[in-house]
Amino acid sequence: MSKGSREGLRNAGISMILSLVVVLIFYFAASQIGGYDTVDILGGAVYSFILSMIISFSIIPKLVSSLSEKRKATSTPMGDNATQRKEE
């Protein structure tokens, strides 16, 4: 599997988990408020899932790439630390 397809699967998984969390929050909030039919709650949950997937698919890849770039920039190999100590 290529690096691009692994990143795509990872981003899709993160978006899916985020969308399911949004759906669960919506479902429990709508159930607790009351006064809504089951069809209304399920329709709202489906709408929330689709909308959060659309939004997260545009946000998650940029967020993941920026976090991985920051992680790469802050991590240094042990060899560099050892040579810096010897110089000091």
Alpha-carbon separation of residue 25 from 28, 32, 49 (angstroms)? 5, 11, 11
Q: What is the tens place of the pLDDT at every residue in 56-66?
A: 998 998 888 88
| Spatial distance between the Cα atoms of 32 and 11, rounded to a whole number of angstroms | 32
- Give the C-alpha separation, 28 to 34, whole Å: 10
| Mean predicted lDDT score pLDDT of the chain | 85
- Is the pTM for the entire model greater than 0.95? no
